[in-house]
Chains A and B, each alone.
Chain A
């Protein structure tokens, strides 16, 4: 494999992994936020949306501290489970999941909240459990919101720089993503390689969003 392509492949590998994890994690979280009557719900909503306002480096900094082998959690993971988070692909995944969380959760939450509640009640009255109702009634009807969440989380992960630089560093083949590689190449005055990365990122992002907006010509306005 050509070394130049590695950051790009790594970027997409990360984006796919993160999006998959976020979907599995974000759906129940969005469901809980949309339907729970818990009075401290707003605290969770605030936490989920924090990455929207914080500088990425702040999140990256805290993750670096928490997962460093000197810290309790990092120490525990490394000693007993053999997992090293900082400066590893695992670290990139964790950082990106946290940072892209609102991009997955907020559209799905809005989709669920806008969904006609009578249909959920109708399903319950017909004897169906909340899980079956979610699977067979709610999800098929909020596809645009799900798609928005998936595309936004994916696209946002591709474009991430600050968090991944802080927690992942710049290890070729391990944590050097396209966005970081561009920065490196520019620093090294390799404008050709930097240009290649930039062009591929622009092209692919454009293509993903284009397909998304085409499929979903009435997308939910979340942001």
Chain B
């Protein structure tokens, strides 16, 4: 297993993968990778205080919201990239999410996959 730190325009993302440098050639300093994770694994926090175990937490702004009975899709603007989070509609209401809100989005390190580039 390896813990990989990835630099994304200045922010540091973490990913845990099963491979090691000896089994996967792309696991070396300097190689470019794409980070992949499922929208349903992305959480949203607003006015977060205190400590949290999640290391991947980054600031973003809400661009758009799509609601359905159970789930809500929240489109975020993160450093001019689009991040989508799918959370329960109940949570979205509790957080009082509206377009333009400044929030933080979070994803667990073990949910982040690495896609080798090229």
A and B touch in their complex, CB below 8 angstroms: no
